[in-house]
A = this chain, B = another copy of it.
Amino acid sequence: MLTIGKISDAAGVKVPTIRYYEEIGLLPEAERSAGNQRLYGQKAQERLTFIRNARELGFPLDAIRDLLSLSDRPDQSCAAADAIASAQLAAVEARIARLTALKAELERMLVQCAGGMIADCRVIEVLGDHAKCHADHAPTGHLTEVAG
């Protein structure tokens, strides 16, 4: 039986994150030692590793929850898991396309900003009036793209 710190190291997931996963029901409630500390066995560690890998591949926790419930019933068709992964793939592709467009835009801005004064700065200017950019690129509606 491993303490939380050990599976944290083993699975590469931080201690508070593990407790958080338990809290939201992604991990079952851990056994406790006499002194109330969490104890984990092999199965828990595998489950945590699964979660970590899926997170690394960009799956949101809800999708992971679904995948876990699928993997708990190994006799069923693979189709549902396939659907989740496919949706994830499509989302990733969409993000790549979007980011590639942003990259081009940023490069254009920067090329034109050659050490002048703010008054003539293309970075500022382009952001103030995007019409000065090239015309229509997809109007996005929700602005949830975020810098890493």
Counting every copy of the chain, the complex holds: 2
Count A-side interface residues using an 8 Å CB cutoff: 70
Least distance between A129 CB and chain B CB atoms (Å):
7
B96 in contact with A99 (CB, 8 Å): yes
- A13: chain B residues at CB < 8 Å are 143
Tell me whether chain A's interface is mostly helix, strand or loop, or mixed. Answer: helix
A86 in contact with B99 (CB, 8 Å): no
Q: Is A40 an interface residue (CB 8 A)?
A: no
- With A109-B85, A110-B86, A120-B78 as given contacts, are A145 and B56 in contact (CB-CB < 8 Å)? yes
Closest 10 A/B residue pairs (Cβ)? A74-B119, A78-B121, A55-B143, A89-B106, A81-B123, A74-B118, A58-B145, A53-B130, A60-B147, A91-B147
